[in-house]
A and B are shown apart, each in its own frame.
Chain A
Amino acid sequence: MEREKIIAALETAFAEISGAEYEDEPETFAEFLESFKKFRDPDFPVYWIPWTIEEAVEALTGRKFGWHEDAFKDEWNYTGEFGFVCVDPETFRCLTAERTDDERCTVSVVFPILSIDDAVKAVEYFLQLVQ
């Protein structure tokens, strides 16, 4: 899928998620990520980031999924890494589960999301996963 289409889906999703908070000049998702990269402080509405990714994936595929997201934190700040678990609600199959080389099974995927490029990569990963 073209990058422009993914960015448009991300911006639409972000506007919906953050919309109520802004009145005059709404911040774009790309700008929001830039501020997050600079400050990463604990008061930041950090979960807007994974929610935006998830909404964009659902909008682009026209399907709903079960999601769990985790914003990783070190002792002071958010690290900029996010853990995601994605489940297909029709089959209950965990789409992010992966067998490892040592025959174990992991449940989540982790992405650093500190820029719009990182966000596009995460969406591309999920699109490939659900198709």
Chain B
Amino acid sequence: MQLGQQTFADEQIKQAIEEVWQELLQEADAEDYSLEEYLEHYRKYWNDPEFPNDIPEIIMRAVEKLIGKSLAWYCELVRDPSGFTGEYSFIVVDPQTRKCLTYRQFTFDGVNVHYFLSVAGTVIYYEDIIRLVIKLLDQIQSALADAQNAALQAPRR
């Protein structure tokens, strides 16, 4: 049995993002304002240390909602000497197995093995959030499917 990946339409992803946004507003007991409005402030003030950057939380909660699974994650806000670049680097771990779901190995020459530990992307506009959610969904679902297939193919006593 080969386990597949579920694909999500942009509308489904947008709905999950909007639900997460409403949850965050409720949790913060904040006045009702749209994610688009938040993103306008975000583009202006992302280097202000007092600006609450909710982007990682929005992205990961949307991913969790869509795949129906809680995940452990770490997010680096990538900086250069002039400050935050707008890029986020996510490392995601399955809390049950502690497998790193964003880990990929590759080789250019068949000898030296290189790796990526994280899935990264830049967020400036709403569409960038959708794009990054899709990128994470692809990688995480593929890693979860690989792990399940490996478990099914493992010899049983």
Contact = CB atoms under 8 A, between A and B. Distances in A.
Interface residues of B, number: 23
B72 A89 contact: no
Interface in A75-109: 75, 83, 85, 87, 89, 91-94, 97, 99, 104-108
Contacts of B95: 97, 99, 104-105
- Secondary structure at chain B's binding surface: helix, strand, loop or mixed? strand
A127 B142 CA distance: 31
Contacts of A99: 95
A66 interface: yes
Contacts, number: 65
B76 A92 contact: no
**Interface of A, helix, strand, loop or mixed by DSSP:** strand
B110 interface: no
Interface of B: 49, 72-74, 76, 79, 81, 89, 91-93, 95, 97-100, 103, 105, 113, 115, 117-118, 143
Given A68-B89, A85-B74, 6 more contacts: A67-B117, A68-B91, A83-B74, A85-B91, A87-B103, A91-B99
